[in-house]
Amino acid sequence: MTAAHGFYERVDAHTFSATEATMSPWDPRLQHGGPPTALLARVVTEMHPRDDVRIARIASEFLGPIPLATVRARTRVVRPGKRIELIEATLEHDGRDAVAARFWRIATRPAGSIPPGVSPPDPVPPLPPEQAPPTWLTRFGYGDAIEWRYLYGRDEPGPAAVWARPRVPLIVGEPPDPRDAAILVADSANGISSELPMGDWLFVPPSLSLAFERYPRGDWLLLEARTTLADDGLGITRSRLADRHGWFAAGTQALLIERRLSG
């Protein structure tokens, strides 16, 4: 479906035009939550450069529909600090805030400064061979802009694990970054681990929380996700992310569960 060369085209340092690669599964006029969150992380890094800190946690709040249109980012330092700092970033369209995200950045030390913990790391399953994606992932721009290789959960509701990599960079003409890719993929956890048929039900996350132990390395990412539902309309998706070197991040999404309107 997508012929885009990136998820966004840069207009200037703060302004970006969304391409069809950002298209949401819920409405073709709207963006999926992953691309704008990744975009805000990129803008925070550009506007507040520091080599001695790493993003440790992202809390991204989707304040309403995110139009597939030109958006503008702004940032501010909420809590400055040498070892720990908090930066807020907002994405707006036509005078309305669409996404607000907070980024905790924590100072790093030289590699090897911290001894290994007592718990051995979980093994990471290998990347499977190339495979055709489920049909539903080819019907909207975001799904088609990422290559998917399932380990389990491909053809039925329930927990899932899938290796994934974006086919295009976050911003047209700019080098891809593994951290961008991780944030792009993380917000699809609720989609791959749906507990109800997507054709009949909505399970929309108004937010994404993502914590990084380290930044990913390489182009492929493993997303493992499980969703649980309450019988009164809410749900939660828990996820974790790995690369070929091990697990590096964990996420949560609160969900609105609602039957789709027919017609």
Q: Residue 193: CB partners within 8 Å, gap ≥ 6?
A: 153, 158, 159, 160, 225, 226, 227, 237, 239
Each of the 263 residues of the chain gets a pLDDT tens digit; together they read 556 899 999 999 999 999 999 999 888 999 999 999 999 999 999 999 999 999 999 999 999 999 999 999 999 999 999 999 999 999 999 999 999 999 999 999 999 999 999 999 999 999 999 999 888 888 899 999 999 999 999 988 999 999 999 999 999 999 999 999 999 999 999 999 999 988 889 889 999 999 999 999 999 999 999 999 999 999 999 999 999 999 999 999 999 999 988 64
Share of the chain above pLDDT 90, in %: 88
Nearest by Cα to 221 from 164, 177, 150, 159: 164
Task: Check if the beta carbon of residue 16 is closer than 8 Å to that of residue 7.
Answer: no
Task: Check if the beta carbon of residue 178 is closer than 8 Å to that of residue 14.
Answer: no
The model's pLDDT over 90-143, given as tens digits with 9 standing for 90+, comes to 999 999 999 999 999 999 999 999 999 999 999 999 999 999 988 888 889 999
Angle at alpha carbon of residue 40, lines to 164 and 57, rounded to 5°: 75
Domain residue spans of the chain: 8-109+128-259
Give me the amino acid identity at 58.
I
Task: Check if the beta carbon of residue 236 is closer than 8 Å to that of residue 227.
Answer: yes
Query: Is domain 8-109+128-259 annotated with CATH 3.40.50.1950?
Result: no
Query: What pLDDT was estimated at residue 3?
Result: 60
